[in-house]
A and B are shown apart, each in its own frame.
Chain A
Amino acid sequence: MSAPLPDLLAPGGQAAPSRARLYQARARGGLARQLRLWLPAGFLLLLLFACFVWPNIYPVPNPVRGSVLQAGLPPLSPGHIFGTDPVGNDVFSRILYGGQISFEVGLGVNAIGLLIGGLLGVAAGYWGGAADTIISRVLDVLIAFPALVLALAIAEGLGPSELHVIMALSVFSIPAFGRIARGATLALREQTFMLAARLSGTRGWRVIVRHVVPNIVPQLMTFSLLGIGVAIILEGALSFLGLGIPLPEASWGSMIAQGQQTLSASPDLVLIPSAFLFATVLSLNLVGDALRERWGVR
């Protein structure tokens, strides 16, 4: 018994704005909207290219085998755009290789969370009952662990390495995705088209793959973009504490830790990796927001 829906399709077939959009009419054109997405996305793409592709096609100084003779050079020195650290490593190339680590950890942690956590969440939301109870409790246990403490424990126990960092951070990215996926699936389950799909004869697993997944992907995608930022920061923190990527390998976090020691003499050793960390996470958040705006995810 709701008010009639608008039937505003022009004979030519172009869909006219629905009544809902009528009342949210926006005057401004697309330029601002496009910039909001492509400016940060462009920066990220540039950074990805710089970190992963550039060192393979253009020789950069070795990030770990610098010569002591070159130690402590300031930024904009010849051959070293960002200068060198106290041991003689080129900061610029350490930024690039550190960026590789950051992106690998960020993407790895979120991929694991998305696949495993997403799967568990959808299963819990769709089937409910016992499956839901068991999975939810498991996820609750995982999420109850203080993230950093757990990461410390794993690092202490297994030794610091990139793989262990990814493992540690996945412990709470899985339940995070699990909860989002479960909530989204629960909301979706009440929709009439889910019932219609079942009445059409489509069986359970196929309903999940063809109906549930495509409809929750926008939510999960935007969540994972933010998650990458979080994972990068956490990797930075772990490395800063000496429990992430071990020296002398480059990582933005350990670079900041190292730079602490010579903060007054060469603040750029802290500022440069911090700036990159900040810019990367900010861009990820902005892209996440822009996509959320476009896809209408709440």
Chain B
Amino acid sequence: MTSGEPLLQVRDLVQEFTVRDRGGVKGGTVHAVSGVCFDVWPGETLGIVGETGSGKSTLARSIVQAPRPKSGAVLFRGADLVALRGSALLRARRHVQMVFQDPFGSLDPKWRVRDIVAEPLIAYRAGDRAARRRRVDQVLDLVGLDPSSHGGRHPRELSGGQAQRVAIARAVALSPALVICDEPVSSLDVLIQAQVLALFERLRAELGLSYLFIAHDLALVKQVSDRVAVMYLGKLCEVGPGEAVYRQPLHPYTRALLDSIPSPDPAAARAATIIGGEPPSPIHPPSGCRFRTRCPRAAERCAAEEPALRELAAGHSVACHFPLGETQR
């Protein structure tokens, strides 16, 4: 699975933006992403799971420099995207593409499918018109759409699943190395969701893609990922192989997430305690460990000192002063 250098190295990524006072809600600086570090290796799928306010979507956009993060480094094949500008950034970014949550929102309603998929080819001047047309047909076929009947349509003439396929086709048109998927199936019905996930897996195998797969559903993320990272209020809580995170969660928040997922198996009892409270505002994150306000294991140290991400088992790291012991599910 992995060899040599990581494909993507994110180091101490920080993204903040200011919101103004509005109504009775005070404004301030939103600490959306506060010092996130992780790697994505060639050929692997790293899943990032987080709820509202975790900063996962902001993280995705910061990686592609839209907008540029406040500080930190994003090394793609060794080149720091944060430091690049203009055409250098454009060239480096060619191999990192993105698929968004709202399939219709990410497609220009006035454009036809064929033109949408061809846009990256035109921007990067990949081949002449005939070559581009061939590539568009090839890629539409790859995602399960018929170039002759779907190519001339507008997004409003497509279903949700089809629109998302067009977005995926556009993303893989230039044969990128890394595709960042920001909640790509959350807007789709369950059966269509399964179709699109199967497409992701197939493309991964056929094109040798690496994915950064972001979603709020831990079960979904675990199903498609090799490694899973759990995010809370701008920080990573736990990173590790999917099975390890599921069977031996080290962070109390991961445990809470696992307990909250309703299982269709009636034999699986619902967890006795579910986590209470609400996520704090990212404008005023709690001092020290950000999860301490809802954590059943919080102690004085948690308020005073912010836990760093440390490796407790093979490839399995956690940022907690009092991680969970060996817990069998």
Contact with B along A191-220 (1 / 0, CB 8 A): 111011111111100100001001100000
Complex alpha-carbon distance, A2 and B188, angstroms: 9
Complex alpha-carbon distance, A290 and B149, angstroms: 32
- Contact status A5-B188, CB under 8 Å: yes
Complex alpha-carbon distance, A211 and B123, angstroms: 14
Which A residue sits closest to B160, measured CB to CB?
A5
- Contact status A15-B170, CB under 8 Å: no
A-chain residues with CB within 8 Å of residue B183 when the two chains form the complex: 1
Complex alpha-carbon distance, A115 and B226, angstroms: 54
**Most chain B C-beta atoms within 10 Å of own C-beta, residue among A193, A197, A215:** A193
Contact with B along A1-31 (1 / 0, CB 8 A): 1101111110001010010000000000000
A196-B170 CB under 8 A given contacts A5-B104, A211-B108, A215-B110: yes
Offer 13 A-B interface pairs, CB within 8 angstroms, sorted by A.
Answer: A5-B104, A5-B159, A7-B161, A8-B159, A9-B162, A193-B107, A195-B61, A199-B97, A200-B120, A202-B122, A203-B123, A215-B108, A215-B110
A-chain residues with CB within 8 Å of residue B123 when the two chains form the complex: 200-203, 206
Contact with A along B42-76 (1 / 0, CB 8 A): 00000000001000000001001010000000000
Which A residue sits closest to B122, measured CB to CB?
A202
Contact with A along B154-169 (1 / 0, CB 8 A): 0011111110000100
Query: Shortest beta-carbon distance, A21 to chain B, in Å?
Result: 10
Residue in contact with B120 in the complex, picked from A6, A193, A201, A214, CB distance below 8 Å? A201
- Contact status A192-B106, CB under 8 Å: yes
B-chain residues with CB within 8 Å of residue A1 when the two chains form the complex: 52, 183, 186, 216
Complex alpha-carbon distance, A195 and B58, angstroms: 13
Query: Shortest beta-carbon distance, B102 to chain A, in Å?
Result: 6
- Contact status A199-B157, CB under 8 Å: no
B-chain residues with CB within 8 Å of residue A5 when the two chains form the complex: 103-104, 159-160, 187-189
Contact with A along B102-117 (1 / 0, CB 8 A): 1111111110000000
B-chain residues with CB within 8 Å of residue A4 when the two chains form the complex: 160, 187-190, 192-193
Contact with B along A42-64 (1 / 0, CB 8 A): 00000000000000000000000
Report the interface size for chain B: residues with CB under 8 A from the other chain: 43
- Contact status B105-A199, CB under 8 Å: no
Which B residue sits closest to A13, measured CB to CB?
B149
Complex alpha-carbon distance, A72 and B61, angstroms: 76
Chain A: interface secondary structure? loop
B-chain residues with CB within 8 Å of residue A211 when the two chains form the complex: 108, 110
- Contact status B187-A196, CB under 8 Å: no
B98 CB–A CB distance under 8 Å: yes
- Contact status B186-A15, CB under 8 Å: no
**Most chain B C-beta atoms within 10 Å of own C-beta, residue among A5, A8, A195:** A5
- Contact status B66-A193, CB under 8 Å: no
Complex alpha-carbon distance, A234 and B5, angstroms: 70
B232 CB–A CB distance under 8 Å: no
Query: Shortest beta-carbon distance, B122 to chain A, in Å?
Result: 8
Complex alpha-carbon distance, A202 and B119, angstroms: 7
Complex alpha-carbon distance, A5 and B170, angstroms: 21
Residue in contact with A192 in the complex, picked from B102, B157, B189, CB distance below 8 Å? B102
Query: Shortest beta-carbon distance, B75 to chain A, in Å?
Result: 18
Complex alpha-carbon distance, A273 and B94, angstroms: 63
- Contact status B109-A215, CB under 8 Å: yes
Query: Shortest beta-carbon distance, B168 to chain A, in Å?
Result: 12
Contact with B along A78-106 (1 / 0, CB 8 A): 00000000000000000000000000000
A-chain residues with CB within 8 Å of residue B216 when the two chains form the complex: 1
A-chain residues with CB within 8 Å of residue B193 when the two chains form the complex: 4
A-chain residues with CB within 8 Å of residue B120 when the two chains form the complex: 200-201
Query: Shortest beta-carbon distance, B164 to chain A, in Å?
Result: 9
A6-B93 CB under 8 A given contacts A199-B66, A215-B110: no
B41 CB–A CB distance under 8 Å: no
- Contact status A199-B64, CB under 8 Å: yes
Query: Shortest beta-carbon distance, B5 to chain A, in Å?
Result: 24
Which A residue sits closest to B125, measured CB to CB?
A201
Residue in contact with A15 in the complex, picked from B124, B156, B167, B188, CB distance below 8 Å? B156
A-chain residues with CB within 8 Å of residue B149 when the two chains form the complex: 13
B246 CB–A CB distance under 8 Å: no
Residue in contact with B119 in the complex, picked from A8, A9, A191, A200, CB distance below 8 Å? A200
**Most chain B C-beta atoms within 10 Å of own C-beta, residue among A13, A196, A203:** A196
- Contact status A2-B100, CB under 8 Å: no
B194 CB–A CB distance under 8 Å: no
